[in-house]
A and B are shown apart, each in its own frame.
Chain A
Amino acid sequence: MDAQLTRVAREEGGRLLALLADRVGGIDQAEECLQEAYLRAATAWDASGVPDNPAAWVYTVARNAGIDRLRREKASARRIGDQSRALAAGVADEAGRAAGRDGSANADDDHASELVEEYALVGDEQLRLMLLCCHPALAPDVQVALTLRLAGGLTTAEIAAAYLVPEATVAQRIVRAKRKIRDAGIPLTIPADLSERAAVLTAALALIFNEGYLSHTEAAGTLTRTELADQAIRLTATAADALPDEPELGGLLAVELFHRSRERARADADGVLVRLDDQDRALWDRTMVARGYAALSLALAQRRLGPWQVQAMIAAEHTRDQPDWARIVRYYDLLLTLTPGPVAELNRAVAVAEADGPQAGLDALEAIAGLDQYHLLHAARAHLLGRVGRDAEAGAQWRRAASLTRNPSELAFVAARLVETET
């Protein structure tokens, strides 16, 4: 039962909140109503079982709670303002039923099916919520916390566990963000500059996925990094569906799916990362690979190439039995023309080593500037020096790499991670 409730919160919470926000007068109010509904669900579902459509049940209870609140506010103070005027119609609808309603979960079947219908029409509202959470007037770490809390339905405790920060920090970040949304007048609307805003949203979703996928810490709390990555995939898929004209969202979704498809093969029984080359491909999730290809081809069909689509092409190449390394090098060349950067150059050099041999890879590494403090540069050089038999120099480079990372477990993974060049 609790598991059902958690599932509703994570998979449907954002949609419910988006739908409620418009009807009960804002995000804060919607969140409180939703919490109230979850509390009631915990008791009611225990007593009489989980309803057929748990999300519609929660929505009905939360909306009724919101309407009750608005009515109370209206009675106590006349200044409800614009929000309640927009709500007037909805309140009138409910008035007829109010007499026979005890304020709790009387979602009778007829009414429930009507709500399910209404509930299905909210793609836009969920998009508005995600765009609100990822408003460029909010700092990236705030966007991430707010998106996970409001659109992803995670608790502050779960977010704190995933990011290894104190729960109070996350809670404060969210409170401050909500205050800014209210006081600075950040709107819950589809903006005019949609492409620009979609880019900010894409970046925030990528941050969420990276934390889930790349984090080295196996959950210190209630949320495993796999669940965080899954939540990122869910949110990215929702955004990509709602914004079909933004191919970079599709590109990101494909990258996420390709990476996630290898989850079970990434580590051996002792939890040590396995090089991509050495992974047992039978363990790859073929359904996710197929979803990745579907997302990528939809995105590429728009013929507006961007960095995430190119990274998805690289990740797609890695799903083949024999990756074509020369092609991967060309993809990196393309990526570098779109977004020049030393980390992509490093990944390109690793691909060059696979395509043209370790010496060519070492030459490519020599040309990279600005990564001297980055442990993976030295680890890559160490690996290639080892392959050409320059063991003493390789050892020195390993030591340099070791001195630059603070995470001891990372050292063990360094060699294996290099070949996962697309990340």
Chain B
Amino acid sequence: MKYLLIIASDPTLPSPAPGDDDFGAYMDAWMAYTEELEKAGAYVGGEALLPADTATTVRHEGGATTIVDGPFVELKEHLGGYYVIDVDTLDDAIGWAKKLPVGTGAVEVRPIMPTGPES
């Protein structure tokens, strides 16, 4: 079944930026992770996101919409990226979540609602 791995971390913590000495190694770890997912046949998709201060929220209320600067929920930890993986069980999904090269942060493992005849 498919799971969404939602990666969140505290943006005030230091993290390698382009041009830093350790940026190459940092990116390599993420690419190696994605490659490992692909090799295992578990990769469905995934992207990294720009920082939460670039976010815009469109709020719907009874048909009316308002546009708000910022993410829809203000937390210490910000959504930084996601993967969609296809594995057999929650244990497998948790295993992949543990392997993510997140220094300090949190990964929510959320099953994706099954659709179609296979479910």
Interface residues of A (CB under 8 A from B): 79, 135, 137, 183-187, 189, 191-193
Q: How far is the CB of B76 from chain A (nearest CB, A)?
A: 22
B102 to chain A, nearest CB (A): 18
Does B95 have its Cβ within 8 Å of any Cβ on chain A? yes
**B94 contacts across to A, CB distance below 8 A:** 137
* A183 vs B89: C-alpha distance when bound (angstroms): 10
| Chief secondary structure at chain A's binding surface | loop
In contact, A189 and B91 (Cβ under 8 angstroms): yes
- Are the C-beta atoms of A185 and B95 separated by less than 8 Å? no
Q: Is B19 an interface residue (CB 8 A)?
A: no
Report B-chain residues with C-beta under 8 Å of the C-beta of A193: 95
A186 to B111, CA, bound (A): 11
Nearest 3 A-B pairs (CB), nearest first?
Answer: A187-B89, A185-B90, A186-B90
Question: Contact at A185–B1, with CB atoms within 8 Å?
Answer: yes
Beta-carbon contacts under 8 Å, B1-43 to A: 1, 3
**B residues 60-119 in Cβ contact with A at 8 Å:** 88-91, 93-95, 111, 117
Residues of A within 8 A of B90 (CB): 135, 137, 184-187
Contacts of A135 in B (CB 8 A): 90
- For B93, give the chain A residue with the smallest CB separation: A185
B95 in contact with A186 (CB, 8 Å): no
Contact yes or no, A187 B91, CB < 8 A: yes
Complex CA distance for A186 and B89, rounded to whole angstroms: 6
With A and B bound together, what is the CA distance between A189 and B95 in angstroms?
Answer: 14
- B3: chain A residues at CB < 8 Å are 185
From B89, which residue of chain A is reached at the shortest CB distance?
A: A187
Residues of B within 8 A of A (CB): 1, 3, 88-91, 93-95, 111, 117
Number of inter-chain CB pairs below 8 Å: 27
C-alpha spacing A183/B113, complex, angstroms: 8
**Can you name 23 A-B residue pairings with CB atoms under 8 Å?**
A79-B117, A135-B90, A137-B90, A183-B111, A184-B90, A184-B111, A185-B1, A185-B3, A185-B90, A185-B93, A185-B111, A186-B89, A186-B90, A186-B91, A187-B88, A187-B89, A187-B90, A189-B89, A189-B91, A191-B91, A192-B91, A192-B95, A193-B95
In whole angstroms, how far apart are the Cα atoms of A187 and B91 in the complex? 7
Smallest distance from the beta carbon of B93 to chain A beta carbons, Å?
7
Question: Which residues on A sit within 8 Å (CB–CB) of B111?
Answer: 183-185
For the complex, give the distance between the alpha carbons of A183 and B91 in Å.
13
Which chain B positions have C-beta within 8 A of A192? Answer: 91, 95
CA distance A135 to B94 in the complex (A): 12
> How far is the CB of A201 from the nearest CB of chain B, in Å?
14
Q: A79-B117, A185-B111 are in contact. List 9 more A-B contacts (CB 8 A).
A: A135-B90, A137-B90, A185-B3, A185-B88, A185-B90, A186-B89, A186-B91, A187-B91, A189-B91
Q: Within the complex, what minimum Cβ distance (angstroms) separates A254 from chain B? A: 30
C-alpha gap A123/B95 in the complex (Å): 26
Nearest Cβ on chain A to B9's Cβ, whole angstroms: 21
Q: What CA separation (Å) do A194 and B111 show in the bound complex?
A: 23
